[in-house]
Structure 1
Amino acid sequence: MDACILPFFEGKTPAFSAKGKAALFSAPIKAGDFTGKKGERLCHYPSTGSAKRLILLGLGKEKQLTKEVLRRAYASAVSHLKGKAKSVEVHLPVTNVLEKDAISIAAAEGVYLANYVFDVNKSIKDKALSQIKFVGGVDKALKRTKIVCDSVYFTRNLNFSNADDVTPTFLGQIAKDLAAEYAQISTKVLGRKEIEKQKLGLLEAVSRGSATDPALILIEYRGDPKSKELNAFVGKGVTYDTGGLNLKPTGSMETMREDMSGAGAVLGTMRTLAALKLPINVIGVIGSTENAIGPKSYKPGDVYRSYSGVTVEVTNTDAEGRLVLADALSYVQKKYALKRIINIATLTGGAVVALGEEVTALMSNDDQLSAELTQAGESTYERVWRLPLYEEYEDILKSKIADIKNSGQRKASPIQGGIFLKRFIGKVKWAHLDIAGTASPDPQKPYHSIQSTGVGVRLMTEFFECLCSK
């Protein structure tokens, strides 16, 4: 074994069964080099034992132990070992402060998420740990976490790959591949001709400047076919966003391949639901296009008719995500009887200004749904914070020539996005997640080794799991 990870509580107290192992780590502790404080990490090279390296992890005071402390601690150890070790034995802490399942899930998330590499475009490949053995964990929880984290990998790969490769057609094929892999999933993809035929006018307008065809992707997961209850999870899939004729400046376009992070979260979540065989019914919907510049580009100042019939004055072609989502939301509501609908998107830079990169902006028309998403966020540390949708904000988007305009003044920017989408929501519980800050933060958390976090997969898996348990 190349390495062994051992957790300690503050005060040099082993958080694992140390019987017969004390001699392995006594030297650095006696020397005062390690005390078990939160965030502390020490790599020790013992002269005896089967492991070449010992990673001593500080978890802080036992009574203050949280799942996030575990995630960050174990991620720190893995980040240190990547490129140096191939195999690792991971000891989990023994404590009554957290449930055993929670300990297993949080520690394993830290390990797996930090072990991710994205090296498809590198000549010299990055090295990750290839053999991971957990000691003291709950097998079912560990297996569940591996499935979820594999889906986060899947989402990160999509979000971070070249925009020339990850096109709307490509995302449609990924959805079809999920249907081929999982019997509970069925997929339908609408191309340009069908989008025009169905009069998805806003999605079609945004797509006009691009040489690549748009797609409306529907991924239906029936994990509880006897139930009539159906949920929708809708993602923005703008595979590259130049800003359109309201062109983005240099410095604001280089990460726009990740403007389909909402779509990535939907695909990753649908994959997880099927792999875990959760007894719930969810339809994933992705409105996907490039927002490019061309001779047919949609134009600032013009009015376009949505699928729902609402007319929209386009005042900013760089506020395209809400247009794509509006048609996707309207379409799924018309075609399905829904209990609740949640959309996710890298929608506004204003969400980053308001909340930074630690929290996803949440807007909703339902207090219970907001509370359930907030709880799921606290559990996964993909936290959300609710912003208001007061009636007075609607004045910002009033148009003199159409039913609504897609963008107003700079004030209340993230709320404008929510207000716009709300116009396309019927009598159904709805929530809007703006992940502009959390999809690709800088700097990254210890368990986010690249800028793309795959945010939304763990959050929504937890949310749907909680619905199943009610």
Structure 2
Amino acid sequence: MNFTIIEKSLNEINADYELIFVVNKDLNHKFIKDSKEFEFYNFKGEGVLNLPSLRRVYVGIKNTEPESIRQGVAKAFNAIKELNVKSIKMASYVDSCYKMSFEAIAEGFVLSAYKFDRYKSEKKSLNLAEILISTDEFGGKEIKLYEANLGLNHGKIIANATNFAKDIVNEIPEIYTPIKMEEDAKKLTLEYVNLECKIHDENYLKAQNMNAFLAVNRASAHPPRLIHLKYTPKNESLKKIVFVGKGLTYDSGGLSLKPSDYMLTMKSDKSGAAAAMGIIKAACELELPFEIHAVLGATENMIGGDAYKPDDVLITRSGVSVEVRNTDAEGRLVLADCLDWAQSELNPDLLIDMATLTGACVVGLGEYTTGVMGNSYELQSEFKNFTKRSGENLTILEFNDHLRELVKSNIADISNTASSRYGGAITAGIFLDKFIKDEYKDKWLHLDIAGPAYTEKAWGYNQIGATGAGVRANLYYLNKLARNYEKGNK
């Protein structure tokens, strides 16, 4: 899909179709052409009005903020995607930031066009190939071409990285094993000269005393992998940032077996690792000024005669002992060892883990929102503020000492599940906090992406299935950090 900014009025541009946004129900704007059709179809500036005979589609949006633009583009795309439309033209719609306004247009189209049809016998090709954007602007602003083109480029990079993560998550468990994740990580290094990959096998995990990670893997026919990707910027790094991703390529629940309907979609339990890979892929293309690492804990949680059991006590890499009360609380065990490894081996300035960790987070926040946890409210607030234009929804969940009491164990240092059914998302975050060293307490964020990572209904520019949750939010955060460093604000 190509995006071109054309320094002509909208009427002077030729295309198969035209997209016009109706902003805040303003039906008297200069771009509006079909008032008679509005009256006939009772269109009040909300929703979508597609006029195939006139080769135009109108979409009502609340305002010109980036997420409104993305959602509007998605509605237009869904209205015309079955038509033989190869090119579409539209005006410019600029909010407070020129770059982000055009970034949102590119993201809206590229994200909406994603599909996972690998196993369909009949595949439908995408006809739309050209997006032509006039410098004719909704509010009469003069377009800053450099910022606009930069925004389009960044938008494509970010959306493609998100779709890359979607492909990983959507792939079936028969195919996508820890070894396949290893192969995909290695393939990335062939594309980017500034990206390195180290693979650590089960023997390395044993030598590192990563016994919690190994316990989860014990009943799987596929060996585990600790995958380490490192992006090095062209110039001296301003900061070292480490992403740790939960990579459960399939989760049956182990001996605490999930009900069959809950087991369906558990191929999505690798979403955290997939997001980390998408982030580092985009970092290479965006040429971010930070040294960025992705640490992926790839394994399966299966059943069998050698499976780890409720009542087991595991000695983690950090030396903390964990009482296993539920083998379906396995992701936090893998992350416990991976987080400890990342701190001692990489010494990060910022540590962010991403995981489809708890159903409790979905219950508490809904399917569309990520839970943000950590020890520094300042860092959590900064992350939420810097990412708000990404389109991803985030809510801060605060730790408290009363909930810490719930993960205490009578026979070990900590239990892998809480003694109460309430506050499960936060108690899981508190469990992970046990493995964060004192010097990193205020440098760590935990993102529970269990809700938005995979849904069984389409929403906005997200299709049924994987959404690439975490990719856009973190890339917007990194871009904002980079801009602040350029301005000397950090």
**TM-score, with length taken from structure 1:** 0.92
In structure 2, relative to structure 1, the CA distance for the partners of 1:93 and 1:29 (3 Å cut) is farther
Within 5 Å, give how 1:328-339 maps onto structure 2: 328-339=338-349
Q: Does 1:79 align with 2:78?
A: yes
Query: How much has 1:224 moved relative to structure 2?
Result: 5.4
The aligned counterpart of 1:384 is 394
The aligned counterpart of 1:412 is 423
Gaps of 5+ in 2: 1-14, 136-147, 485-490
| Secondary structure class of the residue paired with 1:252 | helix
The aligned counterpart of 1:115 is 113
Query: How much has 1:14 moved relative to structure 2?
Result: 4.1
In structure 2, relative to structure 1, the CA distance for the partners of 1:94 and 1:203 (3 Å cut) is closer
Paired with 2:265 and 2:105, the residues of 1 have a C-alpha distance of: 30
Paired with 1:454 and 1:116, the residues of 2 have a C-alpha distance of: 11
Alignment partner of 1:424 out of 421, 431, 435: 435
Query: How much has 1:30 moved relative to structure 2?
Result: 5.6
Task: Give the fraction of aligned pairs with identical amino acids, expressed as a percent.
Answer: 34
| Secondary structure class of the residue paired with 1:235 | strand
Q: Does 1:4 align with 2:18?
A: yes
Paired with 1:208 and 1:68, the residues of 2 have a C-alpha distance of: 44
Paired with 1:281 and 1:13, the residues of 2 have a C-alpha distance of: 50
The aligned counterpart of 2:97 is 99
Q: Is the 8 A contact 1:200 1:327 kept in 2?
A: yes
Within 5 Å, give how 1:330-369 maps onto structure 2: 330-369=340-379
Q: Is the 8 A contact 1:261 1:454 kept in 2?
A: yes
Tell me the alpha carbon deviations over residues 192-244 of structure 1, each in whole angstroms, 9 at most, x when there is no partner.
12111221111101000000010101111111552363111111000000000
| Matched AA of 1:57 | V
| Matched AA of 1:305 | I
| Matched AA of 1:357 | E
Q: Does 1:433 align with 2:443?
A: no
Q: Does 1:219 align with 2:229?
A: yes
| Secondary structure class of the residue paired with 1:401 | coil
The aligned counterpart of 2:309 is 299
| Secondary structure class of the residue paired with 2:256 | coil
Q: Is the 8 A contact 2:16 2:86 kept in 1?
A: yes
The aligned counterpart of 1:45 is 53
Q: Is the 8 A contact 1:12 1:34 kept in 2?
A: no
| Secondary structure class of the residue paired with 1:353 | helix
| Secondary structure class of the residue paired with 1:319 | coil
Which range moved further: 71-80 or 443-452?
443-452
Paired with 2:86 and 2:386, the residues of 1 have a C-alpha distance of: 32
Q: Does 1:128 align with 2:126?
A: yes
Tell me the alpha carbon deviations over residues 172-197 of structure 1, each in whole angstroms, 9 at most, x when there is no partner.
11111111211111111111121112
Number of positions where the alignment pairs a residue of Structure 1 with one of Structure 2? 453
Paired with 2:315 and 2:124, the residues of 1 have a C-alpha distance of: 48
Superposed structure 1 runs of 4+ greater than 6 Å apart:
none
Q: Is the 8 A contact 1:224 1:281 kept in 2?
A: no
Paired with 1:199 and 1:264, the residues of 2 have a C-alpha distance of: 25
Q: Is the 8 A contact 2:64 2:93 kept in 1?
A: no
Tell me the alpha carbon deviations over residues 67-115 of structure 1, each in whole angstroms, 9 at most, x when there is no partner.
22211111011112223234131313445x4332222122222221111
Alignment partner of 1:59 out of 34, 51, 61: 61
Q: Is the 8 A contact 2:103 2:153 kept in 1?
A: no
Query: How much has 1:460 moved relative to structure 2?
Result: 0.6
Paired with 1:420 and 1:195, the residues of 2 have a C-alpha distance of: 21
The aligned counterpart of 1:162 is 172
Tell me the alpha carbon deviations over residues 262-293 of structure 1, each in whole angstroms, 9 at most, x when there is no partner.
01100001100001111111111111100001
The aligned counterpart of 2:9 is none
